[in-house]
């Protein structure tokens, strides 16, 4: 296969096109806003954002199919002196971010009806996604930190977007404070690693450590653990998860979906790359710290805390927030089992697949909540009683999301969850497997509570669904169809993710 980014076809920098598309769209939105600052024309803004997002998703998908940056076309494309890298994993995650963004922007069209500052909303979202896309291709701790902040700072503002809503503001505050603290921990960790190795580029760090030139292993070790903390914050893993329940609950529901799917995935892609490239297990173990053990502990704690806390929630959105923490725990399995895995690329690939599927099903679930909020349905489980009698199609989609989240074969979540279990079994990580089983049982319980409310309980007649917002419906149904299609057509996803992951080893 001829590499797409070879001299004859496209210049090298075009490999970053998915990220560039997002950045450009953000700028276009600024231009639109500056032309007509008081515009409430959400159609234009949402349309432009969606086009940008779809373009980005399309390009990354095209590149993935064409094999850009994959080993079969000549390997990863390094840009800017190796500060950024575009490979299969980067493109895979760019596709995830852009798809989630597209869903969210479409849904926001209805959700933001009548809200001021829509242009800011969409451009912040685009910028955050740009940051995430860069996180996916960050190849140095410096670009990692910068792109992480680029993703984070707009997110803070997005969470607090409903500035007259106490919940939204409180969520923004907590997210911001914990985020600031975590990023200072992260950057301090980077500084310690730099202190120990004198390098910021990922591969170079590994070389220094491997050559034995690194300074005190303690400094390096503390640095690595603090970087663990940094990514744990971004992925909403224990003990850096505290912001998540409030941020997801308080934020506008499309933002919650966006953050809990895309932002989390961004944290993971960063972690995958940093830990497999800068601190490969065969190099780091014995020198400083076996981060596999750390991630095992975090994975078990995260999934357990997330699921157990979700089990007894009263409001659907907060339940989804905690479940999102639980899923972070699942995705961490990919990292945690690397040390013992029989097939490392499959283990990491399983996490990647999970994040992709999660992008659709979790965003879909939050968007359904957005739909409910749009209708003025209450927040608690009881408020959802009998919703299916009024909105059967949306409720069917929500059922698909929930059961897919629970790992039933009605959506792609089935494959990714069981692939993670396969990975855990393959690495003989019995603790992780057992934790996954227990938590999965619990998750089945609380997800089905929503299904029960929607389908089984009688409606109490307290609300009437009056309108069917096109944008929200389109987004929810698209997510539902995608989730379902991923069940049937999981083959390419699985193959791509495994191939992409294989490049890191």
SS3 content of the chain, % helix, strand, coil (to 5): 75, 0, 20
With beta carbons less than 8 A apart as the criterion, state whether 304 and 437 touch.
no
**Binding-residue total with another protein (CB under 8 A):** 114
Q: What angle do CA 258, 262, 264 make, to 5 degrees?
A: 110
- Nearest approach in angstroms of CB 398 to another protein is 13
Contacts of 427 (CB under 8 A, 6+ apart): 337, 338, 339, 340, 341, 342, 347
Which of 16, 103, 133, 185 contacts another protein by CB under 8 A?
Answer: 185
Which of 22, 23, 294, 333 contacts another protein by CB under 8 A?
Answer: 294
- Nearest approach in angstroms of CB 7 to another protein is 30
Which of 25, 137, 256, 494 contacts another protein by CB under 8 A?
Answer: 494
Location of structure tokens 């299916």: 388
Contacts to another protein from residues 22-81, by CB under 8 A: none
95 interacts with another protein by CB under 8 A: no
Comparing CA positions, the residue from 420, 424, 402 lying closest to residue 411 is 402
Contacts to another protein from residues 350-409, by CB under 8 A: 403, 407-409
- Nearest approach in angstroms of CB 18 to another protein is 23
Q: Which window, 93-101, 106-114, 330-338, 341-349, contacts another protein (CB under 8 A)?
A: 341-349
Interface map 410-449 toward another protein (x if CB under 8 A): x---xx--xx-xx-xxx-x----x--xx--xxx-xx--x-
Q: At what angle do helices 17-35 and 118-137 cross, to 10 degrees?
A: 160
Report DSSP state, residue 203: H
292 interacts with another protein by CB under 8 A: no
Q: Which window, 127-135, 261-269, 339-347, 477-485, contacts another protein (CB under 8 A)?
A: 339-347
Distances (CA, A) of 171 to 147, 185, 317: 22, 21, 13
169 interacts with another protein by CB under 8 A: yes
Give 110 or 246: the residue with its C-beta nearer to another protein.
Answer: 246
Q: Which window, 111-119, 129-137, 188-196, 262-270, contacts another protein (CB under 8 A)?
A: 188-196
Contacts of 471 (CB under 8 A, 6+ apart): 46, 106, 107, 108, 109, 110, 111
Comparing CA positions, the residue from 149, 293, 133 lying closest to residue 228 is 293
Question: How buried is residue 13: exposed, middle or buried, by Cβ count under 10 Å (0-12/13-18/19+)?
Answer: middle
Comparing CA positions, the residue from 128, 109, 129 lying closest to residue 46 is 109
Which of 52, 245, 257, 359 contacts another protein by CB under 8 A?
Answer: 245
Q: How far apart are CA 244 and CA 256, in angstroms?
A: 9
270 interacts with another protein by CB under 8 A: no
Helix residue spans in 67-198 (DSSP H): 88-111, 118-137, 141-159, 166-197
Give me 134's structure tokens.
């860069």
Which of 27, 40, 44, 195 contacts another protein by CB under 8 A?
Answer: 195
- Nearest approach in angstroms of CB 268 to another protein is 19
Give 102 or 372: the residue with its C-beta nearer to another protein.
Answer: 372
Which of 145, 330, 374, 375 contacts another protein by CB under 8 A?
Answer: 145
Classified as helix, coil or strand, 79 is strand
Give me 272's structure tokens.
């995958």
Give 93 or 419: the residue with its C-beta nearer to another protein.
Answer: 419
Which of 40, 79, 181, 283 contacts another protein by CB under 8 A?
Answer: 181
Give me 346's structure tokens.
């499959």
Contacts to another protein from residues 214-233, by CB under 8 A: 215-219, 221-222, 225-226, 228-229
Give 125 or 408: the residue with its C-beta nearer to another protein.
Answer: 408
Contacts to another protein from residues 301-320, by CB under 8 A: 304-305, 307-313, 318
- Nearest approach in angstroms of CB 355 to another protein is 17
327 interacts with another protein by CB under 8 A: no
Give 43 or 452: the residue with its C-beta nearer to another protein.
Answer: 452
Q: How far apart are CA 347 and CA 175, in angstroms?
A: 31
- Nearest approach in angstroms of CB 392 to another protein is 9
Q: Which window, 7-15, 31-39, 126-134, 178-186, contacts another protein (CB under 8 A)?
A: 178-186
Comparing CA positions, the residue from 429, 247, 241 lying closest to residue 328 is 241
Q: Which window, 64-72, 125-133, 139-147, 327-335, contacts another protein (CB under 8 A)?
A: 139-147
Q: How far apart are CA 447 and CA 439, in angstroms?
A: 12
345 interacts with another protein by CB under 8 A: yes
């Amino acid at each position: 296969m001829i590499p797409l980014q070879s001299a004859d076809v496209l210049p090298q920098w075009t490999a970053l096109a998915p990220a560039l598309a997002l950045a450009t769209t953000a700028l276009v939105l600024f231009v639109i806003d500056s032309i007509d600052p008081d515009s409430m024309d959400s159609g234009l803004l949402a349309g432009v954002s969606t086009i940008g997002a779809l373009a980005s998703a399309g390009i990354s998908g095209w590149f993935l199919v064409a094999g850009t940056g994959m080993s079969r076309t000549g390997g990863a494309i390094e840009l800017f002196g190796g500060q950024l890298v575009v490979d299969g994993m980067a493109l895979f995650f760019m596709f995830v971010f852009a798809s989630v963004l597209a869903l969210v922007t479409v849904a926001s069209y209805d959700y933001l009806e009548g809200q001021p500052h829509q242009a800011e909303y969409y451009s912040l979202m685009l910028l955050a996604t740009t940051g995430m896309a860069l996180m996916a291709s960050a190849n140095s701790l410096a670009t990692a930190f910068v792109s992480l902040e680029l993703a984070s700072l707009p997110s803070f503002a997005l969470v607090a977007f409903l500035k007259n809503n106490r919940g939204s503001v409180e969520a923004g505050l907590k997210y911001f404070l914990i985020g600031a603290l975590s990023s200072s921990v992260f950057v301090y960790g980077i500084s310690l690693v730099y202190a120990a190795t004198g390098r910021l580029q990922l591969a170079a760090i590994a070389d220094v450590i491997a050559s034995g030139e690194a300074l005190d292993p303690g400094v390096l070790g503390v640095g690595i653990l603090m970087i663990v903390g940094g990514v744990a914050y971004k992925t909403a893993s224990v003990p850096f998860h505290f912001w998540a329940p409030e941020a997801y609950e308080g934020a506008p529901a499309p933002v919650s979906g966006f953050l809990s799917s895309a932002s989390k995935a961004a944290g993971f892609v960063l972690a995958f790359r940093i830990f497999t490239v800068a601190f490969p297990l065969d190099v780091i173990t014995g020198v400083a710290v076996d981060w596999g053990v750390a991630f095992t502990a975090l994975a078990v704690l995260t999934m357990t805390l997330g699921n157990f806390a979700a089990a007894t929630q009263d409001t659907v959105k907060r339940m989804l927030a905690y479940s999102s923490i639980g899923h972070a725990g699942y995705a961490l399995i990919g990292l945690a089992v690397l040390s013992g895995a029989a097939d490392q690329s499959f283990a990491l690939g399983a996490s990647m697949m999970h994040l992709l599927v999660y992008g659709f099903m979790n965003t879909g679930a939050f968007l359904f909540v957005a739909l409910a909020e749009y209708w003025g349905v209450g927040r608690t489980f009881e408020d959802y009683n009998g919703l299916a009698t009024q909105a059967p199609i949306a409720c069917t989609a929500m059922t698909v999301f929930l059961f897919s989240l629970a790992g039933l074969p009605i959506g792609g979540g089935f494959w990714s969850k069981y692939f993670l279990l396969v990975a855990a079994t393959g690495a003989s990580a019995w603790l992780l497997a057992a934790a996954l089983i227990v938590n999965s049982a619990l998750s089945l319980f609380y997800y089905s509570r929503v299904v029960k409310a929607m389908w089984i309980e009688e409606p109490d007649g307290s609300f009437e669904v009056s309108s069917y917002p096109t944008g929200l419906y389109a987004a929810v149904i698209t997510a539902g169809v995608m989730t379902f299609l991923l069940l049937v057509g999981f083959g390419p996803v699985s193959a791509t993710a495994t191939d992409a992951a294989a490049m890191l080893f």
